[in-house]
Amino acid sequence: MSSTSSATLDSVLADDLSQWPGDSAAAALITTDGVIASSGDCEAALPWASVTKIVAALAVLDVVHDGLLDLDEPAGPPGSTVRHLLGHSSGWAFDEERVISAPGTRRIYSNVGIDAVTTLACERAGAPDHNSLLRQRVLDPAGMTTSTVNGPASHAGMGPVSDLARLAHELLAPQALRADVIEAALTPSYPELSGVLPGFGRQQPNDWGLGIELRGHKSPHWMPTGVSPLCAGHFGQAGAFLWVDRASGIGAVAATGVPFGPWAAEAWPVASQRWLDTWRDMNAGGA
């Protein structure tokens, strides 16, 4: 992509971010070649909230890859497995180890499920804590060296947009992380399960991979409409998001430090679609 095209994309991102609340927003567009456009201070550390779950899931799946943990072994509430916990289908409630559904019957977004399976992976891998596990297996290998997870594995990540862009690039074109680990995370788990997507209501179906959400045909939704159903990503209540569409070869990341709310539910899919359309128009024009 030419420098002129990159400057145009930078301008489009900047225009959208100027309309978002707060003054710390940063965003980047990523292809298989790396970052192609950005706006804002992409080196400032901002909270990720639940975008952290992508890192946690990849770390757990890396332990699975080493044969120290099995996706189908029991974990969590009775009848649940490691796969259920990673796919938010164990039946546990959002914030407590309370069973509200039989495993594999509903998609119940659960912080405690992700925290529990990460703790189990730490035990099997001999890691002293989940911060060490996530750093050794995902953050450091992916070059996300300034990011931290000083708190629950489900939502305590913090770091710059430049590190989120590195993570998005690995999801699009694995280099430092194992390709089969990425593939496992992005493969649909228990398809056709319905459930509530936080901030967007009940979805039928509510598609997920393992630790990462899949776009599917959900409506309303925070990702753009013009991506494939297997577009994958996560957003966080701290006003951050990451999505990658491997079918198109592009992804986007953003962090704001402003709590998620109606502003984000309205602005994010519109902005992401504009970025996607601009990029596609440039490619169609031979830019």
pLDDT tens per residue, range 127-173: 999 999 999 999 999 999 999 999 999 999 999 999 999 999 999 99
> Model confidence at 284, in pLDDT bands (50, 70, 90)?
confident
Distance, in Å, from the CA atom of 18 to the CA atom of 3, rounded to the nearest integer, reads 22
- Tens digit of each residue's pLDDT (9 = 90 or more) over 180-234: 999 999 999 999 999 999 999 999 999 999 999 999 999 999 999 999 999 999 9
Task: Express each pLDDT in 9-29 by its tens digit.
Answer: 999 999 999 999 999 999 999
Q: Quick: pLDDT tens for 33-81.
A: 999 999 999 999 999 999 999 999 999 999 999 999 999 999 999 999 9
- Whole-model pTM over 0.85: yes
pLDDT at 286: 54
State percent of the chain over pLDDT 90. Answer: 95
Is 83 in contact with 210 (CB distance < 8 Å)?
yes
pLDDT-based confidence at residue 2 (cuts at 50, 70, 90): low
What is the predicted pLDDT for the residue at 6?
83
